Amino acid sequence: MIPVRRIILVLIGALILASGCLDTTPADDYQDWNLTLAGDEEMVLTHPEIRALPAAEGYGYSVSTVGIKHGPNRYRGVPLADLVLAAGGAGEDDLVYVSAEDGYLWVFGMDQVRGEGFFTFDENLKEVAPPPLRVILAYEQDGSPLPFNEGGPLRLVIITESPDVITEGSSWVKWVDRVEVQRR
Amino acid sequence: MNRPAALAVLLLLAVSAGCTDTGPERTTLMVIPAGSLLYPLEDIEAAFESQHPDIDVRIEGHGSIQAIRQVTDLRREVDVVAVADASLIPDMMYRPMPEGDGNYTDWYIAFAENEVVIAYTGKSIGADEITQDNWYRILSRPDVRVGFSNPMLDACGYRALMVTALAEEYCEEPGLFEAIIGGSFDPPLQVDRTDGVAEITLPELMRPAGDKVAIRDGSIYLLSLLDAGGIDYAFEYRSVAEDHGLLWIDLPPEINLGFAEHADDYQKVHVTLGFRRFQSIGSERIGLPIVYAMTIPADAPHPDEARMFVDFVLECFQDGWPKSGTATVADKQIFR
């Protein structure tokens, strides 16, 4: 029987090859930052390994619980759905725990991992119907490595094609160091 | 204190200060308050700065727990923290700083109270018939949409659940919690009553099915939904309803979390959150009177100016808030 870890590594390799766009942009400050993926087994990805995965790009614009808007910025990162897949995948009722070095945790349903089930707002913070959204772990903001104060090296960001779509910032976990699939 | 009176007091304070010094260097005072304090602090900030032109007050609102985390977990330089739940300060800040220079703080001062009300507008279904006597029956109707903020993010959110659980017993209406809130979840949210304590355990994802219940990250989004007709009623702090010109129903003191003399009643309801969002605080919330409190972190960069600001805020709130006041906070008592 093929070990699960080998399957996962092959899957990641396939994703990298499929992307056809190896990003070798250095982010020297974050070389020691690792991301733990926990599913059926646990594995650790280095920052360069994460940057080598197929990337998604879009605009991210968040708002805090008291209405402070942040953005819009252009973000680039690895889709959370790909990381969940690399962790062994998840069933529809499973949950994904995204947690950070500072002790913050937010929980996502699988529909949210796919970019569904979020509330979106216009510039006046009036609710609008959500356009297509993607959830990524961003490592790049406006073409530069994501600054630490902005949640770098890895921050969960909800992106869209349009710069004027605002999403709730509570799920924008800063300093992400662990993604864990919780079986239900 | 009502708004015109508050403005008059603030103006008087500013004028009596004889503010004349306009030196080029201004001290930036970082103040992190709970969201429900942002509205009154707008005027207070302006009045304080006119009295102290050498001080630039920067106000950055957060949920109460996040406000404290700016000091503790995130180690930002903060001069004043003001929260909507006084108990959070001893829970989260009476702890040693990692640098070994004592605790984050060893004191807090209670300066205001609040209570939970049912806010609505003239367009809300049932607006022409809702009263203090029948509010829970109106909110129980399947066609009436109810909103509250996410208990994971906002103290007013878990307080909404507490109030509804307390109402079920106080109004002697078995099934009331399920009719207003619990039945909108799959599986339904339930109140487990054991040995006189009502326990509500929340799921990890607070996502109601259907349109009966709406949950949003914070109060301002509920107000927006109320305005747009997306919900009919929202559980809000009385001060918020008042500040935003909404209609509201006052709830009985036995259940509205606003009266210290009913603290024993309030403590009979517990909410366990679906997950531990922060490592720095547990996931159980116990019913308590809503008391606002301030402190100055031990490593505040400008402790003298912070003390002046705290004194100024205390003076502004001394006549009570919301305007008609509720129970009396021990007058400017410093808790250690």
Contact B230 A170 (CB under 8 A): no
Among B7-11, B110-114, B176-180, B186-190, name the one with the lowest average pLDDT. Answer: B7-11
Give the integer Cα–Cα distance in Å for A146 and A132. Answer: 23
Query: Is pLDDT at B42 greater than 70 in this prediction?
Result: yes
Contact B154 A107 (CB under 8 A): no
Residue B218 in tokens: 């914070």
- Provide the residue range defining the domain that includes B94: 3-113+290-335
B262 in the same domain as B330: no
Inside any domain, residue B278: no
Inside any domain, residue B280: no
Q: What percent of chain A has pLDDT over 90?
A: 77
Contact A103 B73 (CB under 8 A): yes
| β-bridge partners, B234 | B119, B147
Question: Is the CB of residue B205 less than 8 Å from the CB of residue B88?
Answer: no
Inside any domain, residue B98: yes
Which of B154, B216, B276 faces A105 most closely, judged by CB atoms?
B276
| β-bridge partners, B292 | B112
Q: How close does chain A come to B196, measured CA to CA in Å?
A: 32
Q: What is the CATH number of the domain that holds A45?
A: 3.90.420.10
pLDDT tens column, B128-144 = 999 999 999 999 999 99
Give the integer Cα–Cα distance in Å for B174 and B169. Answer: 7
Which of B62, B224, B276 faces A66 most closely, judged by CB atoms?
B62
Q: What is the CATH number of the domain that holds B219?
A: 3.40.190.10
Q: How close does chain A come to B11, measured CA to CA in Å?
A: 27
Question: Is the CB of residue B300 less than 8 Å from the CB of residue B71?
Answer: no
Give the integer Cα–Cα distance in Å for B107 and B336. Answer: 4
Question: Is the CB of residue B110 less than 8 Å from the CB of residue B86?
Answer: yes
Query: Is pLDDT at B149 greater than 50 in this prediction?
Result: yes
B56-69 average pLDDT score: 93
B255 in the same domain as B130: yes
pLDDT tens column, B265-275 = 999 999 999 88
Query: Is pLDDT at B15 greater than 50 in this prediction?
Result: no
Interface of B with A in 65-124 (CB under 8 A): 66, 73-74
Contact B66 A65 (CB under 8 A): yes
Give the integer Cα–Cα distance in Å for A100 and A175. Answer: 5
Residue-level pLDDT at B25: 85
> What letter does residue A142 receive in the DSSP assignment?
T
User: Which chain A residues touch B35 with a CB distance below 8 Å?
Assistant: 65-66
Confidence of residue B333 (pLDDT cuts 50, 70, 90): low
Give the integer Cα–Cα distance in Å for A87 and A183. Answer: 12
B137 in the same domain as B255: yes
Residue-level pLDDT at B18: 44
Q: What percent of chain B has pLDDT over 70?
A: 88
CA B314 to chain CA centroid, Å, is 17
Residue-level pLDDT at B336: 62
* Ramachandran area for residue A89 (φ above 0: left; ψ -120 to 50: alpha; else beta): left
Q: How close does chain B come to A117, measured CA to CA in Å?
A: 9
Residue-level pLDDT at B24: 61
Give the integer Cα–Cα distance in Å for B125 and B38. Answer: 30
Query: How many C-beta atoms lie closer than 10 Å to residue B13's C-beta?
Result: 17
Contact B275 A107 (CB under 8 A): yes
- Provide the residue range defining the domain that includes A14: 4-182
Inside any domain, residue B281: no
- DSSP H helix total and E strand total for chain B: 11, 15
pLDDT tens column, A140-163 = 999 999 999 999 999 999 999 999
User: Which chain A residues touch B221 with a CB distance below 8 Å?
Assistant: 119, 121, 125, 127
Residue-level pLDDT at B322: 58
Cis? peptide before B187, omega within 30° of 0: yes
Contact B204 A117 (CB under 8 A): no
- Pick from A63, A65, A96 the residue to mutate for testing the B interface (most B CBs within 10 Å): A65
Give the integer Cα–Cα distance in Å for B187 and B170. Answer: 25
Helix (H, G, I), strand (E, B) or coil at B19: coil
Residues with Cβ < 8 Å from B144, sequence gap 6 or more? B124, B125, B126, B138, B212, B232, B233
Interface of B with A in 136-155 (CB under 8 A): 149-150, 152-154
Domain count, chain B: 2
Query: Does residue A1 or residue B88 have the better pLDDT?
Result: B88
Question: Is the CB of residue B212 less than 8 Å from the CB of residue B138?
Answer: no
Helix (H, G, I), strand (E, B) or coil at B38: helix
CA B248 to chain CA centroid, Å, is 17
Q: How close does chain A come to B85, measured CA to CA in Å?
A: 16
Inside any domain, residue B250: yes
B217–chain A Cβ distance below 8 A for any pair? yes
B87-103 average pLDDT score: 91
Give the integer Cα–Cα distance in Å for A36 and A46. Answer: 9
B244 in the same domain as B167: yes
Domain count, chain A: 1
B244 in the same domain as B128: yes
> What letter does residue B330 receive in the DSSP assignment?
P
Residue-level pLDDT at A17: 42
Confidence of residue A102 (pLDDT cuts 50, 70, 90): confident
